Amino acid sequence: MKSPKVILMSLPWSISNNESTSESKRGINHDSKIGFEHIGLLYLETLLEKAGISTEVHDLGFKAFHNQRISLEECINIIKERKPDIVGFSPYFTSIDDTLYVAEQIKELCPNIKIILGGPHASHTAKEILEDKPFIDTIFLGEAFDSIVPGIEALLQDSSLESVQGVAFRNNKHIINNGWGQRISLDKLPIPTRSNKMYTNTKTASMMFAKGCPAACTFCSAESLRDRSWRSRSPDNLIEEIDYLTNQFGIEVIETHSDDGFGIGSNAIHHYTAFAQKLINGNYKIKWRSVLRATDFREKGVLLSEDFWDLLHQSGLEKVFIGFEGGTNERLRKIKKPATVESNLRAFRFLTERGIAVQYGFIMFFPDSTIEEIQENLDFLYELRDTTYSTYSSSLIIHPGSAYFDTYKTQGRLQQPYYGIQPYEFSDPSIKQIRSTYHKFVHDQEPIDTLCNDVAYAIVWGNDSVLHLDYEVKVDPTMLEKRAKDLHSTGKKVIQNPEKALITLGEFNEHWRNEYSRYLKENARAT
């Protein structure tokens, strides 16, 4: 097989507990959370191939999620065997340590290979990475759709990058930053090329519906927030890719990959009405999922339209992701979240009543959290009948590029290197104790969380059973009510007596591991 000129690679997302990866823990993490393709790398691969530059993508996070795991040494061997001229990595904030380790090993073994980085995390910390890591040659900043071809061509020809916008690089020990690349119309991008081997274990594919977000939440580091713009693909352009995915690969579910799939509510209604009508008129049988904010679900909000959501549901929309992030209006104001507790609850109830499941983001613990706030968070989650243990252990991640990061850096509260995971202190020591104790049982509770989420979605969709592991499992709503009550009451006990948190949560953990086994024994049958 002919060697490619370029290999683009992404290592798995791993759960880090806000701690840097130690030498003993380094490796492809078994609990990778990325269950969809790295759509950005697929776009870049397609752009390079169309420019005549042979390129391969190795999306190890996607493969790990689907039980195709390899070690970091095997990852390095891929590069040694394929002998590309350039290797590019797109690190997540939790994979940056592994990425830099692999990159350094490759440079030592194959010093002529040029190593590049890209993606939000590398973009926001480009100067520090280039100063600290001489084995990194170039960092592509921002989206890179317009800079990837001229940048790669210059690197392949050993030409200067001085005239290439959207890159940062080293020149005689000086760091040159040419600024972020230009944004281009998403309809001008080619449909990302896929292969059959990507969908051996799944009939779900991801698509980029839009880029950007009009909000400016202080915890978010999306590069598109620099000017709070939002741009989307046209309905015809989306349908073209759906035709490709369904006809070539038999895809049945589309996951939207966007910072905010809907943008401004009034625009969303026009845009998605046209898209939904095309799906309905074309008799497409796919299910699709999207991302939105609850801003326009305020009282008399523009998205409180039964006809609109009924149309989207008819077209196949089955689930949306909304970042709720906090259970108090004070917290939502602090993080500049353009929503309220009331609009979040209204969005959840409004959508689920129409057969559209809601997955949500939530941050239980912030550095300045108080016991009183945690208590209100517990009450908010019980209003949602939350059954996910990991939600109760979630805490703020300080992302480079976020307002939180900039504030902490100015205050001297960050640790170097700035591109590493940033631990922080809690203002209330009891909050730190509660949070760390919750985290001890996350792994044990993960399969139970997964089952409960699947059952909750099935109830919204009117299904009698779900697939869980290798079983078809009967849906029993009483289990969800019991777990929601137990999570709420256990949380109350923990905040009332943090010193006994380990005992309280240990008892909860043992009880629900037993309940999980019992539930499967009574309600599951092998498929």
Every domain of the chain and the residues it spans:
6-177, 186-424
The single residue listed with the structure tokens 């990061």 is 405
Take residue 518 and report the two structure tokens written for it.
Answer: 């019992």
Q: What is the mean pLDDT of the chain?
A: 90
**Predicted pLDDT of residue 331:** 97
The CB-based long-range contact list for 468-472 (8 Å cut-off, 24+ gap) reads 468/520, 468/524, 470/526, 470/527, 471/520, 471/524, 471/525, 471/526, 471/527, 472/524, 472/525, 472/526, 472/527
Q: State the pLDDT confidence band at 20, using cuts at 50, 70 and 90.
A: very low
pLDDT-above-90 percentage for the chain: 71
pLDDT-above-70 percentage for the chain: 93
Q: Is the pLDDT of residue 151 over 80?
A: yes
Q: State the pLDDT confidence band at 374, using cuts at 50, 70 and 90.
A: very high
The single residue listed with the structure tokens 């010193």 is 499
Q: Is the pLDDT of residue 29 over 50?
A: no
**Predicted pLDDT of residue 1:** 59
Kindly give the residue spans of alpha helices, DSSP state H, lying in 327-428: 329-334, 341-352, 371-383, 389-392, 403-410
| Lowest mean per-residue pLDDT among 412-416, 455-459, 460-464 | 412-416
Q: State the pLDDT confidence band at 31, using cuts at 50, 70 and 90.
A: very low
**Predicted pLDDT of residue 228:** 64
**Predicted pLDDT of residue 172:** 85
**Predicted pLDDT of residue 74:** 87
What is the mean pLDDT of the segment spanning 238-247?
A: 98
User: Nearest CA to 183 among 220, 121, 227, 127?
Assistant: 227
Question: CA 1, CA 522: separation in Å to the nearest integer?
Answer: 51
What is the mean pLDDT of the segment spanning 15-24?
A: 39
Helices 148-156 and 39-50 cross at an angle (nearest 10°) of: 60
More confident residue, 215 or 402: 402
Take residue 481 and report the two structure tokens written for it.
Answer: 């009510």
The torsion of the CA quartet 306, 312, 317, 318, rounded to 10 degrees, works out to 20
Q: Is the pLDDT of residue 378 over 90?
A: yes
Question: CA 505, CA 442: separation in Å to the nearest integer?
Answer: 11
Q: Give the homologous superfamily in CATH for domain 6-177.
A: Response regulator (3.40.50.2300)
Asked if residues 93 and 404 have their Cβ atoms less than 8 Å apart, the reply is: no
Question: CA 90, CA 116: separation in Å to the nearest integer?
Answer: 9
**Predicted pLDDT of residue 320:** 95
**Predicted pLDDT of residue 15:** 41
User: Nearest CA to 323 among 343, 349, 308?
Assistant: 343
Question: CA 227, CA 441: separation in Å to the nearest integer?
Answer: 40
Q: Is the pLDDT of residue 177 over 70?
A: yes
Q: For 295-372, list the strands marked E by DSSP.
A: 317-325, 357-362
Q: Is the pLDDT of residue 28 over 80?
A: no
Take residue 195 and report the two structure tokens written for it.
Answer: 């292969």
Q: State the pLDDT confidence band at 421, using cuts at 50, 70 and 90.
A: confident
186-424: CATH class: alpha beta
**Predicted pLDDT of residue 265:** 62
Question: CA 191, CA 41: separation in Å to the nearest integer?
Answer: 12
**Predicted pLDDT of residue 226:** 56
Q: State the pLDDT confidence band at 33, using cuts at 50, 70 and 90.
A: low
Parallel, antiparallel or unpaired: strands 138-140 and 167-171? antiparallel
